[in-house]
Amino acid sequence: MSSYIIREYPGVATFFSSKEYLDIYKEINILRATEDPITAPFQSKYKAREIMLDIKEKFIERVRTGAEEVPQETEELILALFNYHLGLNYIETDEESPGEKNLNASVSVLRQYELQPQFVAHLINALNQLGILWFSWDDFTNKTITPKSEKYFEEAYKLYEKYNYLNRNTIPTIDILNPFEEDDDEKKRMETFESYHTLTIYYLSQVYSAKNMNDKSAKYSAMTLDRELRHSSIDHYNWCLNCIKLGQYHSSILEFKNAYRCLSCAEYMSKIIDANSTIPEDVEEDPIKKLEAELNWSWGKFYLAALEESVKRYESGNVKFNLNEPSPIGPQLFSALTFESNRTPVRSNLATNFNEAKELFIEGVQSLENSLNFYIFDGYVSDHVNINLEISKFYKLLSVFQLNNKECSIIHQARISSLLPLESQLSFEHYSHLVQLLIAEIANAYEELANCEIKSLEEEEITDLKGKYETARNSNEYNYKAIEFLEEYIISFADPTLKRLPDPIPKAIVKTILNTWWKMGDLWSRIIVIPDVEKEEKENEVSSDESMKSEYLDNIQKSKKLYEAIVSYCKKNYVHKYDDELKTVKQLLENIDKEIEKTTNLTKSDHWCLTSLPIV
């Protein structure tokens, strides 16, 4: 292995271990470790700073007057180390500007000695602290420049790698201001040095996350968690939280193997949280119960993502999905942890049929329901509603694999039963977005119920005429309810004073409004016209047919008006990336005009042809 020439700096070592200053340094170290009262949180830090500034000024004066003769290199290094400690002191007392100034002064000198064991740890820690300062100052929205924080952390990362390659067997000095450090356990010094590198990696993860470089952020996050497992003073609580976040990320990008591993490790670690953990002190909630709820919610999201992807592949006919492909992060995460998870793993091909989908459904819904024990409506309104919306989505996805229309109807009825009470309880004034989400989900559930009834007719599950009439009425009722909720959804975006939509519609919601009009037009064209048996007994067959034809034309005219509203709006206002949708709506209008002309000219109607499903 290559090596780097290690030099001795006797002048620096002598200065920081001289008998003259031994008691002073001891006092500084005691002050640095003192926990101050809340009323004067920094009094010990201020006292330590006064002593350091005094020593520094006396040293400068002694050198200037010739009372202390030291080489220029030694003088620069001693001042750099004083600036290093003063910089850390200023940061500890929330004085960021003087902290940055002193650390930069220190770094400019220490860079020249970056691979020397006496100074490498000081330089890496100084670069980390500068990176942390700039992380809060950087503008990550400006994509044209590299953030300063990233530069500092990358420099610290490369320096650690370089030093480890050249001087692996030489344990660095952690704090040259501590003349008693050599008596410390070598393992403790090495662990402190490694903790500096762990901090570097952790913040690189944060930087890349802020830059939306999520894959790179996840890679460094996994490295951080893996390194923390080797630290004797691991914080189990915060390790769990960060591992849960990493698991959520892998779920979101469909890396189910890594997501399962992260969440399983977090669950295992949550059971061994000890006194070393930094657990938030909150009188209003139990942080351990909150962690458990967050973990259950994350498991719910994991199984939901797996079921959602299963549906996409099932509907497209592509059910091949290899979860054993090499991960971009590398081999199995956190190999230091060995245990058996009792959670249901995701199959390599995901779910391909109802029974397999039901496994994901049961595990996911149970996890979400467990999380609701903590995220109750009274106190966690947003979380409570969002979790219920995810449970509704589970039911919706499961219904895709359910081929029995009657069972499918039961699934969607369950969605409506759980969401209607929430929608009625929420104040639109305070939770407008949540109310909108609930209204849209309920409308979708009614639409799916109507679809189940229509499928029963199309697949001829019902043979007697009375049963067909009843099924058609149910379908219509569900479609009317869906339209009613969609109208409510549109109104929710209206100006509360003017009681109408703004013109033009804001870009953030314009496609939502146009697509809702489209959906309502679709639903009106799906209304099935059925004869009124009681009227038929009183009227002749011709008048009955004319009445049904009139009703049918009235329904598709409503569809036409909604489609025309879309075309009219797009003619007056350009809607970005809506050209394909607009083209389809125009085609629907042409089809409707043809349907109107054809129906108007009919002399005798067939009850079961009086639905415009073909034009949709």
The per-residue pLDDT for range 214-248, each reduced to its tens digit, is 999 999 999 999 999 988 778 999 999 999 999 99
Rounded CA Rg of the chain = 35
| In a domain? residue 344 | no
pLDDT tens, position by position, 321-346 = 555 454 555 568 999 999 999 999 99
Q: Could you identify the residue written with the tokens 């006919």? A: 317
| In a domain? residue 610 | yes
Q: End of a domain among 209, 224, 258?
A: 209
Q: End of a domain among 181, 209, 237?
A: 209
| In a domain? residue 511 | yes
Q: Residue 282 has what pLDDT? A: 61
Q: Which residues pair with 500 in a beta bridge?
A: 495
Both tokens of residue 491? Answer: 């109104």
pLDDT mean over 305-333: 75
Per-residue CA distances from 321 to 327, 345, 384 (Å): 14, 14, 33
pLDDT mean over 145-152: 96
Q: Is the Cα dihedral 127, 90, 208, 266 positive or negative?
A: positive
Peptide bond into 71 cis (omega under 30): no
| In a domain? residue 571 | yes
Q: Residue 453 has what pLDDT? A: 93
pLDDT mean over 402-415: 94
Q: How far apart are CA 131 and CA 147, in angstroms?
A: 9
CB 412 within 8 A of CB 448: yes
Which of 603, 497, 595 is closest to 542 using CA atoms? 603
The residue segments making up the domain with residue 154 are 10-209
How many structural domains does the chain have?
2
Q: How far apart are CA 153 and CA 200, in angstroms?
A: 6
Least confident interval from 47-56, 132-141, 173-182, 400-409: 173-182
- HSE toward the beta carbon, residue 223, CA cutoff 13 A: 22
Q: End of a domain among 169, 184, 209?
A: 209
Q: How far apart are CA 481 and CA 207, in angstroms?
A: 48
| In a domain? residue 19 | yes
Q: How far apart are CA 168 and CA 445, in angstroms?
A: 63
Q: Residue 610 has what pLDDT? A: 43
| In a domain? residue 30 | yes
Q: Could you identify the residue written with the tokens 């004869």? A: 531
| In a domain? residue 81 | yes
pLDDT mean over 19-32: 82
Which residues make Cβ contacts (< 8 Å) with residue 473, sequence separation at least 6?
530
Instruction: Output 30 or 304, whichever has higher pLDDT.
Output: 304
Q: What would the DSSP string read from start to end of 493-556?
A: TSBTTTTB--SSPPHHHHHHHHHHHHHHHHHHHTPPP---HHHHHHS-HHHHHHHHHHHHHHHH
Q: How far apart are CA 278 and CA 8, in angstroms?
A: 40
pTM: 0.86
pLDDT mean over 93-112: 97
Which of 437, 304, 321, 306 is closest to 381 using CA atoms? 437
pLDDT over 90 at 351, yes or no = yes
Q: How far apart are CA 408 and CA 401, in angstroms?
A: 9
pLDDT over 60 at 537, yes or no = no
- HSE toward the beta carbon, residue 276, CA cutoff 13 A: 8
Q: Residue 1 has what pLDDT? A: 39
pLDDT mean over 460-464: 75
Residue 89, burial from CB neighbour count under 10 angstroms (0-12, 13-18, 19+): buried
Per-residue CA distances from 579 to 576, 582, 586, 616 (Å): 8, 5, 11, 19
| In a domain? residue 593 | yes
* Alpha helix stretches (DSSP H) within 34-118: 43-65, 72-92, 96-110
* 607 band by pLDDT with thresholds 50, 70 and 90: very low
Q: Residue 539 has what pLDDT? A: 54
The SS3 of residue 327 is strand
Spacing of C-alpha 468 from chain mean position: 47
